[in-house]
Copies of this chain bind each other. A is one copy, B any other.
């Protein structure tokens, strides 16, 4: 499929022999001017179908190659949520050039949708849905459905509203199909339906859809008026997006960007900030080592240094495990703020347990090295083994506690990335190690 040329794609699209999303996937790799050329022969509705499946950054670039009047017609035919996303992505002067050419009804719809903040339920919803009045009979409701958006698929549920457009329940199309024509909608409507507020955080949507097993959920404003609908397939995108963010944050990789389409400079810019912060904390560790160099220069002291990277690395790894689990748990809602002590207590225990195992390995190895080199093998083994236990337990406790504490003070818990927690543990490991050296050796 991927090997088709833009010209072939245009032909297939004209005859509806290819799904718009597949066409978009093929065209996406080309230049914006090529994409515009491929779409030029299509009618506006077909072009809209393809454009809304393109990556947003591609859509933005493409707009420059389509005449404004034509673009306005295309925007009128795009899905409400897709066109609102595009308008938000466009530079202000470009949007202001096109919007006045868009028909009144669609312009109002766009203005309403773009007003919802990114990351809210309102920014995910569509305004394409069917409503019926609670007082209607089933047969009147069927007529109403025929009238509303005749060509479109408006989903399994029809929303039941009162005269003020307040959401008061839902009926499924199945119910409408099977009910007697003279029944009233309010008799068959399901009243205690799940709904979300347009201002709700989109993070909560995955949980609501999977818990209540719904194909779509109505969105209301603060006064209970119906303003939109969110479909499960859009929530799949939200869930993927949130997971992307978790993973990028965990790896301290900056914001999620379209990797293959982004230039090297853009990628480097996303990555450099965290790396510089981590180098700064790394320099603290290196200053500490200089501070303690007296110990290393003492008779047989140099062997002490060989175990520092092992200890730091193990602390980092032990912390990464916990941070991964906790960041993910916080974001899926499995772990909540009130679990903070439970998490800390658990990680302390797990940390001591696995620390003991790792401490034994490292301690025995240090003992053997110390014996070979004629130093004081027992002291070395003890210092390395005990530091390992402490480092691992500490790393796990901090890895559990810091993301939760960060969330508590309303910062993104994922700012506490695994590398950052490792850096903190590094510093503490060096201090602890040499404190032990002083006690055990001197």
Contact = CB atoms under 8 A, between A and B. Distances in A.
A274 B324 CA distance: 14
Interface size class of A (residues with CB under 8 A): 35 or more
Contacts of A155: 156, 215
Interface string A244-286: 1011101111100011100011011001101110110011011
Interface residues of chain A: helix, strand, loop or mixed (majority) = helix
A233 B215 contact: yes
B156 A173 contact: yes
Interface string A362-392: 1001000100010000000000000000001
B358 A279 contact: yes
Contacts of A309: 282, 285-286, 289, 308-309, 312, 426, 430
Interface string A405-435: 0000000000000110011001000100000
Contacts of A210: 233-234, 236-237, 240
Contacts of A236: 206, 209-210, 232, 235-236, 239
Contacts of A328: 243-244, 247-248
B260 A317 contact: no
A313 interface: yes
A159 to B, nearest CB: 14
Contact of A243 (B21, B240, B259, B346): B240
A358 B327 contact: no
Contacts of A320: 251-253, 418-419
Contact of A172 (B153, B239, B265, B302): B153
Interface in A139-191: 142, 145-146, 153-156, 172-174, 176-178
A33 interface: no
B268 A354 contact: yes
Nearest to A244: B328
Contacts of A206: 236, 240
A361 interface: yes
Interface stretch (A40-48, A84-92, A329-337): A329-337
A315 to B, nearest CB: 11
A293 interface: yes
Contacts of A250: 247, 250-251, 324
Contacts of A244: 328, 332
Given A146-B178, A302-B293, A275 B212 contact: no
Contacts of A204: none
Nearest to A176: B177
A282 B240 contact: no
Contacts of A365: 283, 286
A222 interface: no
B279 A306 contact: no
A305 interface: yes
A268 B346 CA distance: 10
A191 to B, nearest CB: 12
Contacts of A101: none
A241 B70 CA distance: 43
A297 interface: yes
A59 interface: no
Nearest to A79: B213
Given A178-B145, A231-B215, A323-B251, A264 B312 contact: no
Nearest 6 interchain pairs by C-beta: A251-B324, A232-B232, A243-B243, A173-B173, A282-B310, A156-B156
27 contacts: A145-B178, A155-B156, A210-B237, A213-B231, A215-B216, A239-B243, A247-B250, A247-B327, A252-B317, A258-B334, A259-B325, A259-B329, A272-B354, A279-B314, A283-B310, A289-B306, A289-B309, A290-B303, A293-B303, A302-B302, A305-B305, A308-B309, A309-B309, A309-B430, A312-B313, A313-B423, A316-B422
